[in-house]
Amino acid sequence: MTIAKLNDKINTLISELVYQISLFRHRKKLPILSNTDQLIAKSLKGEGIYITSLENLDLPSTAQMLERANSYAAIMKSPINIQSGYKLPQIYTVTDLPEFFTWGIEERLQNIVENYIGLPIAFHGVHMRKDFPNEQQLQTLLWHKDAEDRRMIKVIIYLHNVTEKHGAFEYIPLPANLLDWYNYYRINYALWKSNFLGINDQQMISFIPKSAWKYCPGKAGTVIFVDPRNVLHHGTVRSEARSTLFFTYTSNSPKRPELCTQYNDDTFIKPKKQ
């Protein structure tokens, strides 16, 4: 082992030790949750996901946010194909628009996220996505994990009824036993071999049977809390367009801060306030 590799390993161990100490110190400072919100945080810690609705969350700023979201979704158009048979999604960064930012910093929402992440949090921003019909399983249609932080939360909102033809979100719950953990290790190795670009359905079936995959169709207003860093997930092949919102949260000192800038910089289109 070279000195450089040895130093990298030492630095990684020190970083993880600091992280664990920070979790321990912040434990008594976590916001107190209602019984309902404790259930959300518990489900996130156990399965990595919780599904509810805008109606059930009943946040004060929802109506204004949803009205603005629907107006932008109506004008989003397909960009140029990346290759034959695959259309890139259209992505708007709407973080700077007050209706979205206000919803993302709702106190109740942030308290739930902080209880799961276990540290003071950062709200990085909001992407509005319109995913178009695709026959090929490429990009985010491949099974993958995000990489911004050790734990993170994306709050996904369906802007219309999402059925099988719209390509609903699909995931595999966090491991519950030693066999599951072994399979997760094998998948992580396969992801590493793919340079973390993702693996397709046929590869995934060789690790975890399709009966264990969780498919998430839902009505307009469905809300999915998910940790995309630790939960294997993807969007599914679709024959009709799907419009969604993604609100993104990490700790206030994320492991990969360079990956977090896309939620508020000029990587994607910033639409003007209508």
At 132-170, the pLDDT tens digits run 988 788 888 899 999 999 999 999 999 999 999 999 999
14 backbone φψ class: left, alpha, beta (φ>0; ψ -120 to 50): alpha
**Host H or E run for residue 99:** helix 98-104
pLDDT band for position 80 (50/70/90)? low
Answer yes or no: is pLDDT of 72 > 70: yes
Which of the four pLDDT bands, split at 50, 70 and 90, describes residue 233?
very high
How does pLDDT run across 3-40, given as a tens digit for each residue?
767 667 777 788 888 899 999 999 999 999 999 999 99
Q: What is the DSSP string of 210-251?
A: GGG-EEE-B-TTEEEEE-TTTSEEEEPPBSS-EEEEEEEEEE
Total domains present in the chain? 2
213 with 154, same domain?
Answer: yes
6 lies in some domain: yes
User: Would 272 be classed as within a structural domain?
Assistant: no
Amino acid code (one letter) for 12: T
Is 228 in the same domain as 136? Answer: yes
CATH number at residue 104: 2.60.120.620
Same domain, 17 and 131: no
The answer to whether residues 20 and 80 belong to one domain is no
Mean pLDDT taken over the chain? 92
Phi, psi at 135, each rounded to 5°: -95, -25
Residue 268 is assigned to a structural domain of this protein: no
The range of the structural domain enclosing residue 137 comes to 33-263
pLDDT confidence of residue 79: 67
Element (H, E) at 128: strand 121-131
More confident position, 241 or 88: 241
Indicate if the pLDDT at residue 274 is higher than 70: no
Average pLDDT over residues 173-180: 89
Looking at the structure, do residues 166 and 109 belong to the same domain, yes or no?
yes
